[in-house]
Amino acid sequence: MTEAQRSVDVTVAAGADVSYQASIGAGSKIWHLAQVREQAVLGRNCIVGRGAYIGTGVTVGDNCKIQNHALVYEPAQLGDGVFIGPAVVLTNDTYPRAINADGTQKSASDWEAVGVVIERGASIGARAVCVAPLTIGAWALVAAGSVVTRDVPAHALMAGVPARRIGWVGTTARRLERHGEVLVCPDTGERYCEEGEALTRLGDDGTVAPHDNGEGSGH
């Protein structure tokens, strides 16, 4: 990191490897043995745990937590408030090979990196694997040990190998409770209606809430 980047309340532990070409937001903390590569952009107040890897050009929003030994390969994009659990892997190669068909070793020009996009507030549980390319919607929750192979709707609760939707969660990650045709968050009281594989947040009058910003919709 440059001297200017170090001066804006960024903590880099001894033993962390942070490129001088990376951009780290104020208040962020990079812990021991973590690596942040060139052109990576981390927002404000992020935490990158011990041994985690942030690939070249990865973008991370504000207030994200990337736990110990997580591997976030380029060109992943993480929105604000995303949680990446311990030992999570975000892949970037749909057709992985070490060599070409003629036996020569593959170089950077022999394959095309594809990324995982994780939208605002979503959480990926420990040791889950997200197989790019795919998008995980806002406030979704992927259970520990899952293997995600397709796009995930906002607020979806995903589990299994391969991961399937087994329910819906609210903004606090608690499972929504069904009350007739309405789903209710037990923590906040927020109400939602289910429309196929999408969820829509309802206002106090029972209609679709305005200015939802995609938090309660599929994609």
According to DSSP, residue 109 is labeled G
Reported confidence tier of residue 206, pLDDT bands at 50, 70, 90: low
According to DSSP, residue 105 is labeled B
Q: State the pLDDT at residue 213.
A: 43
Reply yes or no on whether the pLDDT at 218 is more than 80.
Answer: no
Query: What is the amino acid identity at position 85?
Result: G
Q: Does 69 qualify as catalytic in the annotation?
A: yes
pTM for the model? 0.90
Average pLDDT over residues 169-190: 96
Give the Cα separation of 52 and 66 in Å (integer): 7
Q: State the pLDDT at residue 150.
A: 97
CATH homologous superfamily for the domain 3-171: Hexapeptide repeat proteins (2.160.10.10)
Average pLDDT over residues 167-179: 97
Mean pLDDT score across all residues of the chain: 91
Q: Among residues of the chain, what percentage have pLDDT more than 90?
A: 85
Q: What is the pLDDT of residues 87-107, one digit of tens each?
A: 999 999 999 999 999 999 999
Give the burial class of 61: count Cβ atoms within 10 A of its Cβ; 0-12 exposed, 13-18 middle, 19 or more buried. Answer: buried
Q: What is the pLDDT of residues 41-76, one digit of tens each?
A: 999 999 999 999 999 999 999 999 999 999 999 999
Reported confidence tier of residue 214, pLDDT bands at 50, 70, 90: very low
* Backbone Cα Rg of the chain: 19
Q: What is the pLDDT of residues 105-128, one digit of tens each?
A: 999 888 899 999 999 999 999 999
Reported confidence tier of residue 209, pLDDT bands at 50, 70, 90: low
Buried b (16+ CB within 10 A) or exposed e, 127-164: bbbbbbebbbbbbbbbbebbbbeeebbbbbbbbeeebe
Give the Cα separation of 94 and 77 in Å (integer): 17
Q: State the pLDDT at residue 45.
A: 97
Query: What is the amino acid identity at position 171?
Result: T
Query: What is the amino acid identity at position 102?
Result: D
Give the Cα separation of 155 and 137 in Å (integer): 7
Q: State the pLDDT at residue 108.
A: 84
Give the Cα separation of 202 and 212 in Å (integer): 9
Give the Cα separation of 61 and 78 in Å (integer): 6
Q: What is the pLDDT of residues 4-34, one digit of tens each?
A: 345 468 999 999 999 999 999 999 999 999 9
Q: State the pLDDT at residue 8.
A: 64
The catalytic position among 69, 179, 211, 219 is 69
Phi, psi angles (nearest 5°) of residue 109:
-85, -5
